[in-house]
Structure 1
Amino acid sequence: MAKGTTSKMWRRTTIILILLIVAGFGTVVFSLIKLQLINGESLKSQAVENQLKDTTIVAQRGTIYDSNMKVLAQSATVWKVVLAPAQLYSDSTAQMTAEQKAEHQKVIESQKNAIAECLHQAVGLDQKTVLNILNTKKNSYWEVAATKVETDAKNKILDYEEKYYQSTGKKYSISGVISLVEDYKRYYPYGDFASQVLGFTNNDGTGVEGLEAEYNSRLAGVNGRIIAAKSATQTDMPFQYQQKIKAQDGSSLVLTIDEVVQHTLEKYLEEGAELNKVGNRACGILMNVKTGEILGMATRGGFDSSDILAESVAQTGDFDPNNPRVLTDAEKASIAKLPKDQQSAATLAALQQKWRNKCVSDTYMPGSVFKMVTASMGLEEGIVTESTPFYDPGYIDVEGTRIHCWKSGGHGAETFEQAVMNSCNPQFAYLGLKLGNRTFFKYFEAFGFTKATGIDLPGEPTNYSYYKAEDLNKVSLAVEAFGQNFKITPVQMITACAAVANGGYLVQPHIVKQIIDSEGNIVQTTSTTTKRQVISTDTSKRVAAMLEKDAVAGTAVNGYVPGYRVAGKTGTSEKIDKDNKYKAKVKNGEEKKYYIASYCGFAPADDPQYALLVFCDEPNGASYYGNAVSGPIFNKVMREVLPYLGVEPKYTTEEQQQLDVKTPDVTGKSLQQAKSAVSSATGELKIRIYGDGDTVVSQLPAAGSNIPRQGTVAVFTNSDSQSETVEVPNFVGDGTNSISMVESLAADAGLNISISGVSTGNSTTTAVATTQSVDAGQKVTPGTVIDVTFAEQGDSG
C-alpha cells in the first residue's frame, strides 16, 4: 500500500476520533450544565421532597368571648384521616416463593378491605372510594381521606384497628396505613347567635365573614411544621432525624357584645319582624354613648314570601353558622323553582343575604330620627330655641316644590319643641333653609355622615350621597333637614345619636374590647376614642330634654319605659329609589310603596348611658310608621336590658301609682280572713274563690309575687278547684283592642294582665294590644298574669 494512502487514513481516523471525543465530552458537558444550571433547583427540590416529609401542625384558632368571658366561638380538636397506601406494599417480595407471594397478597387484600370497612363504619366513607385510593396510590404516604372527624369517630377507628389486630392473632395491623392527624374545627356554642357579627370560617379555617374575617390574622396564629427524613423505601426515619417547629396558637378576642343584651335584642327583633311582616329584615344596635362600645348588634327577621329569591332566605331560624354554606331544605326548594341558569346566582345571593350585616353594610334614608341632628344644629347655631314659634299649614313651598307634612292639614301653630314632638316636616325644612347649605353640611360632616365610622367589622361602605356643600340646593337642603334624600348606615346613625346624647362628643364605635394572646396575656385594649366635639354640652342636654318629652307625650310614645326617662325619636322614610328588581309590586292597581320604620333613642335622658336604634326594612303589617312598628321593639329591649345593665329606675309619682304590687299571703287562711287580707292589701286588689271549701289551700298569683294594681287573686279551697283552668282570650284581636277592652276580657276570664308599651296613666292614649305572652286559646290556671304589649298605631313622622 502506498505510503500516502496510509497517511491519509491515519489523518482521517484521527479527525473522526477527535470529533467523537468532542461530541462525547460536549454531550457530557451540556448535560452537566443542564443538570446543574438549568434544572438544578428543580432537581434539588425533588431530591429534598423525596428525602424529607413535611407535615403541617395546625395552630389553634383563638377564642371569641363576650364582654363577660362567655365563649361565643371556639376551636375544638378534630382529626384528619390520612392514608398511606405505600405501607401496604413496603415489604419486598423478591425473595418470596410463589406460595408466599400468594399468601402475602391475601394479607394485603384483607387489610385493604378492613381499612375500607373501618372508615365506612367510623366516618361514613364509601368503601369503593377508600379501595380506589389504596389501589391507585400505591406509592403514596399521604392521601387525605376525611377531614374534621370528631373524637367519637376517631375512637371508632382506633377500636376497629385493635379488633383487627387481635383477629389476626396479633400478626397484622392496619394502624400503619391509617394516620389520625390532629386538626381544629370552629364551633359556635349558641348556634345562630350574633351570626352576622361573628361571621364564620371556611374549610381551611380562614375567616371569611364578620369578626372571623376582620381579625383573621390575629385569630389564626401561625402553623408549625414537622420535617422528617425518609428512607429509600419512603418510610419515616427514626425520631432523631426529625425537626419540629411548634405552632403559635392564635390570639383571642374579648368583645364589647354582652350575650344577655344580644339575646334580648335578637328575641324582640325577631318578634317585631314577624308581627309587622317585615319584608327585608330588621336590625338593631345598642351602644354605650360615652365609650362607643357596641353591647348588641343584630339582624333578624324573614323576607317577603311573595318573592322566590326572598323566600329562599326566609328560614332564618335554621341558619347554622357552624355550616353557613348549606341552605335549608325549604331554601333549596325555593331556588329549585328558578330556571337552571339562575340557580347558582340565586344560591349565592341567598347565602350572602344571610351573612350580610345590615347594621354596618346597608345604607338607608334615616327619616325623622335625623331630626335630632338637625335640632342640635339649630340650637347650637342659635337659630331656634325651644319656644321659637312656627305655623304649619301642612306643607312648605321651596322654589316651586311643595313639601308636605306627614299630617294632613298640618299641625298649625307650634313652638319648636312642639315641632320636635310632632315630628313636623315643614318646620324642619324651614330650619334647614335657615341653616344654609354650608352650615348644614359643616355639622353633617362633623356628625360623621360623610365618612365610614371605622368600626372594626368588614363591609362598611365608603361612598355616600355627596361630599360638597355646593351639591345642596334649597330643595335638597329642605328635604335633608328631616332625613330624606341622602343615605347613611345604621351604625353611622347610632354614632351620631350617641353624640347628641353624651354632651356632643363623636366617639369611635367598636366591638372588640381586648385581644388576649395564647398565654392569656392582654396584648391590646381598645380605649375610648373621641374624634371631636360636635355640639356643646348645653345643646346636648336641651335636645335630650325635648326628645324625652317626645317619648312621654309626642310621636315617640311607644318607646316610653316607666322609670327610665327615655329620650326618643321615630323615623318613617320612603324607599323612593328601592334598588332591587322586586320594586314593581302592584296591589289594587297601585304600585306598592316601600318604607323603613325606625326608632332611635337613649336613656336615661338626664344622664344618657345607652342608645338603641331599631330599624325595620319594608314592614307590610297594619302600619309602616316608626312609632307603631319599631317603637314597641325599642320599648321591650330597653325595658329588659336597662335593669340588667345596672341602670336604676327613677319613678315619678304617677309611675309609682301604676307599678305592680306584691300579692298578699292568704294560703291556709279562712275565706273571711283571705277576703280581709286581699281587700286591705295595697293596690285595690280583688279576690275570686274557686271550690266549696272553707279554707284556702292554694292561691295564684303566689304570695309575694307581682300582681297588677286592681288585679284579681284567685284562691282555691279544695283539690278539685286546684285543677280548674280557663281559656286565654284573644287580647290582640284584630289589632283594635284597647286597654279598657283587654282589661274587661281579662276580668271576665279571671286572669290578670300586665300592661307594657304605654303609660296606663295616659287617659288620651289610643294604643291597641299588639302581642300577648300566652297565646289565645291556651288553658291556664285562673289568676295567671299575662303580659300584654300595647302600642300607638296612629300616623307619625
Structure 2
Amino acid sequence: MAKGTTSKMWRRTTIVLILLIIFGFGTVVFSLVKLQLVKGEELKSQAVENQLKDTTIVAQRGTIYDCNMKKLAQSATVWKVVLAPAQLYSGSTAQMTEKEKTERLATIEKQKAGIADCMNQALGLDKNTVLKVLNDKKNSFWEVIATKVETDAKNKIVAYEDQYYKDSGKKSSISSIISLVEDYKRYYPYGDFASQVLGFTNNDGAGVEGLEAEYNSQLSGVNGRIIAAKSATQTDMPFQYQQKVKAQNGSSLVLTIDEVVQHSLEKYLDEGATQNKVGDRACGILMNVKTGEILGMATRGGFDSKDILAESVAEVGNFNPNDPRVLTDSEKASIAKLPKDQQSAATLTALQQKWRNKCVSDTYMPGSVFKMCTASMGLEEGIVTENSPFTCTGVMDVEGTQIHCWKTAGHGAETFEQAVMNSCNPQFATLGINLGNHRFFKYFEAFGFTKQTGIDLPGEPVNYSYYKEEDLNKINLAVEGFGQNFKITPVQMITACAAVANGGYLVQPHIVKQIVDADGNIVQTTPTTTKRQVISTSTSKRVAAMLEKDAIAGTAKNGYIPGYRIAGKTGTSEKIDKDNAYKRKTQSEAKKYYIASYCGFAPADDPQYALLIFCDEPNGASYYGNAVSGPIFNKVMSEVLPYLGVEPKYTTEEQQKLDVKTPDVTGKSIQQAKSAVSSATGGLQVRVYGDGENIVSQLPAAGSSIPRGGTIALFTNGDSQSQTVEVPNLIGDGTNSISTVESLAADAGLNISISGVSTNNSTATAVATTQNMTAGEKVQPGTVITVTFAEQSNSG
C-alpha cells in the first residue's frame, strides 16, 4: 500500500475518532447541563417527594364568643378517613413459595373486603366504591375517602379494626391501611342565631361570610406538618426520620354582641315581620351610643317571591350556618321550574339573599328618622329654636314642585318642637332650604353619610347615592330635609343617631371587643374611636328633649316605655326606584313600596343605648313607621333595658298607674279576704269561686303584679281550683281598643296588663295587636294576660 494512502486513512480515522469523542462527550455534557441546570430543581423536588411523605396537621379555628363568653361559633374535632392501598402490597414476595404467595393474595383480598365492609358499616359508603379505590390506587399511600367524620363514626371504625384483628387470630390487621387524621368542623350552637353577623366557613374551613370572613386570618391559625422519610417500598421509615411542625391554633373573638339582647331582637323582629307581612325582611341594630359597641344586630323575616320585581326565589331570610347551602323545599321547587341553564344562578342568588346582612349592606332612604339630624343642624346653626313658629297647610310649593305633609289637611300653627312631634314635612323642607347647600352638606358629611362607617363586618357599600354640595338645589334641599332623595345604610343611621344622643360625637361602630390567642392572652382590644364632634352637647340635649316628647305624645308614641325616658323618631320612606321600576314593567300605575322604621334611644336625659328597627315593604294593615316598627322597638327595649341595668325613673303619673302587688289572703275567711283586698293599694276587686268558708288559694298568687283595678280570683275548695275559663280573642279584627279589651277580659274573669303605648295621653287610636295567650286557651280565673297595643294613626 502506498505511503500516501496509509497517511490519508490515519487522518480520516483520527477525524472520525475526534468526532465520535466530541459527539459522545458533547452528549454527556449536554445531558449534565440539562439535568443539573435546566431540570435540576424539578428533579430535586421529585426526589424529595419520592423520599418524603408530607402530612398536614390542621390548625384548630378560634372560637367566637359573645360579650359574656358564651360560645357562638366553635370548632370541634372530626376525622378524615384516609386509605393506603399501597400498604396492602408492601413487602417483597421474591423469597416466598407459591403456597405462601397464594396465602398472601388471599389475605389481601380478605383485607380489602374487610375494609370495604368497615367503611360501609361506619360511614355508609358503597362497598364497590371502596374496593375500586383499593384496586385502582395500588401505589398510593394517601387516598382520602371521607372527611368531617364525627367521633361516633370514628369509634365504629376503631372497633371494627379491633374485631377484625381478633377474628383473624391476630394474624392479619387492617389498621395499617386505614388512617384516621384529626380535623375540625365548625359548629354554631345556636343555629341561625346572629347568622348574617357570624357568617360561616366553607368545606376547607375558611371563612366565607360575616365575621368568619372578616377575621379569617386571625381565626384560622397556621397549619402544621409531619414530614416523614419513606423507604424504597414507600413505607414509613423509623421515627427518627420524622419531623413534626406543630400547628398554631387560631385566635378567638370576643364580640360586643350580647346573646340575651340578640335573642330578644331576633324574637321581636320575627314577630313583627310576620304580623306586618314584611316583604323584604326586617332588621334591627342596638348600639351603645358612647362606645360604638353593637350589642345586637339581626336580619329576620322573608322575601316576597311573588313580587314582580323579586330578584330571587328566596322566601326565608334567615339560614342555618351549620348547613348554609340549603334552600327550603318550596324554594327548590320554584327553581326546578326554571330552565336548567338558569337553575344554578337562581340557587346562588337565593342563597346570597339569605346570607346578606341587610343592616350593613343594603341602602335605603331613611325618611323621617333623618329629621333628628336636620333638627340638630337647625338648632346648632341658630336657624330655629324649639319655639320658632310655623304654619303647615298640608302642602308647600318649591319652584313648582308640591311637597305634601302626611297630614293632608295640615297641622296649622305649630312651633318647631311641635313640628318634630308632628313629623311635619313642610317644616323640615323649609329648614333644609334655609340651611342652604353648604351648611346642609357640611353636617350631612359630618354625620358620616358620605363614607363607610368602618364597622368590622364585610359588605359595606363603597359608593352611596346622595347629592354633592354643588348639586343641592332648592328642591333637593327641601326633600332631603325630611330624609328622602338620598340613600344610606342602617348602620350609618344608627351611628348618626348615637351622635345626636351622646353629646354630638360620631363614634365608630364595632362588633369585636377583643382578640384572644390560643393560650388565652388578649392580643388586641378594640378602643372607642371618636371621629369628630358633629354638634354641641347643648344641641344634643335639646334634640333629645324634643324626641322624648315625640315618644310621649307625638308621632312616635308606640315606642314609649313607662319609666325609661324614651327619645324616638319614626320614619316612613317611599322606595321610589322600585315604584318606578314596577310601573315600567307593568305599564300601569306605580305600586307603592315603603320602608317603615323607628329610631330612638334611652334614657333621654342620659342616653346609653340606641335602637333602629327597619321593616322593608310591610304589606299588613299599615305601612307607617309608628304603627309597624314602633311596637317592635317598644318590645325589644322593654326587655333589654332592665337586663342592661338601666333603672326606670317613673313620673308621678306613671307611679299612679303602675301595677300593684297582690296581698296574701290564703287561709282567711271570705269576709276577711275581701276586707284585706279592699284595703290594699290599687282598687282591686275579688271574685269568689266554690262554696267553702275559707280561701285555699288565690290567683294571681300573693306578691304577684296585677294591674290597678284588677280582680283577684279566690278559691274556697278543691273543685273550684280546677275551674277554668276560656281566653277570649282580645285582638279581634285588629280594631279592639283598650276599653274593649278590658271589658272582654273582665267578662271572662281575667286581668290584662297593657304594654306598648303611653297611658299618659289619649289612647283613642291604640288597638290591640298581640296577646301573650292564645284565644281559646283554657286558664284559671284571675290569670293576667299581657296585651300589646299600638297607635294606628297614619303618621310618621
- Answer whether contact 2:312 2:346 (CA < 8 A) is retained: no
- Answer whether contact 1:304 1:311 (CA < 8 A) is retained: no
- Answer whether contact 2:551 2:559 (CA < 8 A) is retained: yes
Change (3 A) 1:770 1:749: same
SS in structure 1 opposite 2:657?
coil
**One-letter code aligned to 1:267:** K
- The answer for the alignment partner of 2:683 in structure 1 is 684
SS in structure 1 opposite 2:666?
coil
C-alpha distance in structure 1 between counterparts of 2:311 and 2:679, whole Å: 58
- The answer for the alignment partner of 1:260 in structure 2 is 260
By how many angstroms is 1:691 displaced?
A: 2.3
SS in structure 2 opposite 1:769?
strand
Q: Does 1:165 align with 2:159?
A: no
**One-letter code aligned to 1:675:** K
C-alpha distance in structure 2 between counterparts of 1:115 and 1:548, whole Å: 73
Aligned counterparts, 1:13-52, within 5 A: 13-52=13-52
By how many angstroms is 1:616 displaced?
A: 0.3
- The answer for the alignment partner of 2:468 in structure 1 is 468
- Answer whether contact 1:725 1:782 (CA < 8 A) is retained: yes
By how many angstroms is 1:467 displaced?
A: 6.3
**One-letter code aligned to 1:410:** G
By how many angstroms is 1:5 displaced?
A: 4.3
By how many angstroms is 1:537 displaced?
A: 0.7
SS in structure 1 opposite 2:120?
helix
Change (3 A) 1:311 1:272: farther
**One-letter code aligned to 2:408:** S
Q: Does 1:725 align with 2:721?
A: no
Runs ≥4 in structure 1, deviation > 6 angstroms?
Answer: 308-311, 579-587
By how many angstroms is 1:707 displaced?
A: 1.2
By how many angstroms is 1:586 displaced?
A: 7.2
TM-score with structure 1 length normalisation?
0.97
C-alpha distance in structure 2 between counterparts of 1:612 and 1:433, whole Å: 29
Q: Which stretch shows the higher mean deviation, 94-103 or 199-208?
A: 94-103
- Answer whether contact 1:55 1:227 (CA < 8 A) is retained: yes
- Answer whether contact 2:91 2:233 (CA < 8 A) is retained: no
By how many angstroms is 1:16 displaced?
A: 2.8
Aligned counterparts, 1:287-686, within 5 A: 287-307=287-307, 312-316=313-317, 319-466=319-466, 468-578=468-578, 590-686=589-685
C-alpha distance in structure 2 between counterparts of 1:749 and 1:762, whole Å: 27
- Answer whether contact 2:303 2:317 (CA < 8 A) is retained: no
- Answer whether contact 1:312 1:330 (CA < 8 A) is retained: no
- Answer whether contact 1:276 1:620 (CA < 8 A) is retained: yes
- Answer whether contact 1:221 1:248 (CA < 8 A) is retained: yes
- The answer for the alignment partner of 1:98 in structure 2 is 98
- Answer whether contact 1:307 1:582 (CA < 8 A) is retained: no
**One-letter code aligned to 1:101:** K
Q: Which stretch shows the higher mean deviation, 41-50 or 698-707?
A: 698-707
By how many angstroms is 1:765 displaced?
A: 3.2
- Answer whether contact 2:552 2:560 (CA < 8 A) is retained: yes
- The answer for the alignment partner of 2:108 in structure 1 is 108
Change (3 A) 1:537 1:660: same
C-alpha distance in structure 2 between counterparts of 1:328 and 1:79, whole Å: 29
- The answer for the alignment partner of 1:228 in structure 2 is 228
Q: Which stretch shows the higher mean deviation, 325-334 or 646-655?
A: 325-334
C-alpha distance in structure 2 between counterparts of 1:579 and 1:422, whole Å: 26
C-alpha distance in structure 2 between counterparts of 1:761 and 1:695, whole Å: 40
By how many angstroms is 1:416 displaced?
A: 0.4
C-alpha distance in structure 2 between counterparts of 1:696 and 1:29, whole Å: 114
C-alpha distance in structure 2 between counterparts of 1:500 and 1:763, whole Å: 29
How many positions carry a matched residue from both structures? 795
C-alpha distance in structure 2 between counterparts of 1:338 and 1:207, whole Å: 31
C-alpha distance in structure 1 between counterparts of 2:582 and 2:148, whole Å: 41
C-alpha distance in structure 1 between counterparts of 2:65 and 2:175, whole Å: 39
C-alpha distance in structure 2 between counterparts of 1:304 and 1:397, whole Å: 37
Change (3 A) 1:431 1:28: same
- Answer whether contact 1:303 1:310 (CA < 8 A) is retained: no
Q: Does 1:776 align with 2:775?
A: yes
C-alpha distance in structure 2 between counterparts of 1:796 and 1:511, whole Å: 34
By how many angstroms is 1:330 displaced?
A: 3.0
- The answer for the alignment partner of 1:88 in structure 2 is 88
Q: Which stretch shows the higher mean deviation, 240-249 or 664-673?
A: 664-673
By how many angstroms is 1:307 displaced?
A: 4.3
Q: Which stretch shows the higher mean deviation, 632-641 or 459-468?
A: 459-468
> 1:699-737 CA distances to partner (integer Å, 9 max, x unpaired)?
221111111111121222222222222221111111100
- Answer whether contact 1:584 1:592 (CA < 8 A) is retained: no
By how many angstroms is 1:764 displaced?
A: 4.5
Q: Which stretch shows the higher mean deviation, 88-97 or 768-777?
A: 88-97
Aligned counterparts, 1:72-221, within 5 A: 72-221=72-221
**One-letter code aligned to 2:61:** R
By how many angstroms is 1:189 displaced?
A: 1.0
- Answer whether contact 2:72 2:189 (CA < 8 A) is retained: yes
Unaligned runs of 5+ in 2: none
By how many angstroms is 1:298 displaced?
A: 0.5
Change (3 A) 1:216 1:633: same
**One-letter code aligned to 2:514:** Q
C-alpha distance in structure 2 between counterparts of 1:266 and 1:306, whole Å: 25
- Answer whether contact 1:391 1:414 (CA < 8 A) is retained: yes
By how many angstroms is 1:162 displaced?
A: 0.2
Q: Which stretch shows the higher mean deviation, 534-543 or 656-665?
A: 656-665
**One-letter code aligned to 2:661:** K
- Answer whether contact 1:194 1:297 (CA < 8 A) is retained: yes
C-alpha distance in structure 1 between counterparts of 2:425 and 2:547, whole Å: 16
**One-letter code aligned to 1:116:** A
**One-letter code aligned to 1:301:** G
**One-letter code aligned to 2:668:** K
C-alpha distance in structure 1 between counterparts of 2:176 and 2:713, whole Å: 74
C-alpha distance in structure 1 between counterparts of 2:681 and 2:365, whole Å: 49
C-alpha distance in structure 2 between counterparts of 1:312 and 1:668, whole Å: 63
> 1:359-387 CA distances to partner (integer Å, 9 max, x unpaired)?
00000000000000000000000000000
Q: Which stretch shows the higher mean deviation, 110-119 or 542-551?
A: 110-119
Q: Does 1:702 align with 2:697?
A: no
By how many angstroms is 1:496 displaced?
A: 0.5
- Answer whether contact 2:258 2:295 (CA < 8 A) is retained: yes
SS in structure 2 opposite 1:74?
strand
Unaligned runs of 5+ in 1: none
By how many angstroms is 1:583 displaced?
A: 7.0
C-alpha distance in structure 2 between counterparts of 1:121 and 1:618, whole Å: 52
C-alpha distance in structure 1 between counterparts of 2:471 and 2:106, whole Å: 85
- Answer whether contact 1:586 1:592 (CA < 8 A) is retained: no
By how many angstroms is 1:45 displaced?
A: 0.3
Q: Which stretch shows the higher mean deviation, 326-335 or 781-790?
A: 326-335
C-alpha distance in structure 1 between counterparts of 2:443 and 2:720, whole Å: 68
Change (3 A) 1:696 1:586: farther
- The answer for the alignment partner of 2:714 in structure 1 is 715
SS in structure 2 opposite 1:152?
helix
Q: Which stretch shows the higher mean deviation, 736-745 or 680-689?
A: 680-689
C-alpha distance in structure 2 between counterparts of 1:547 and 1:152, whole Å: 58
SS in structure 1 opposite 2:577?
coil
SS in structure 1 opposite 2:222?
coil
- Answer whether contact 1:311 1:331 (CA < 8 A) is retained: no
SS in structure 2 opposite 1:578?
helix
C-alpha distance in structure 1 between counterparts of 2:145 and 2:668, whole Å: 74
Q: Which stretch shows the higher mean deviation, 759-768 or 219-228?
A: 759-768
SS in structure 1 opposite 2:578?
coil
SS in structure 2 opposite 1:281?
strand
- Answer whether contact 1:585 1:591 (CA < 8 A) is retained: no
> 1:730-786 CA distances to partner (integer Å, 9 max, x unpaired)?
111111000001111111111111110012343343100011111112222222211
CA RMSD of aligned residues (A): 1.7
- Answer whether contact 1:62 1:251 (CA < 8 A) is retained: yes
- Answer whether contact 1:196 1:357 (CA < 8 A) is retained: yes
Change (3 A) 1:310 1:787: farther
User: What percent identity do the matched residue pairs reach?
Assistant: 83
SS in structure 2 opposite 1:272?
helix
By how many angstroms is 1:669 displaced?
A: 2.3
By how many angstroms is 1:466 displaced?
A: 3.6
Q: Which stretch shows the higher mean deviation, 205-214 or 622-631?
A: 205-214
By how many angstroms is 1:153 displaced?
A: 1.0
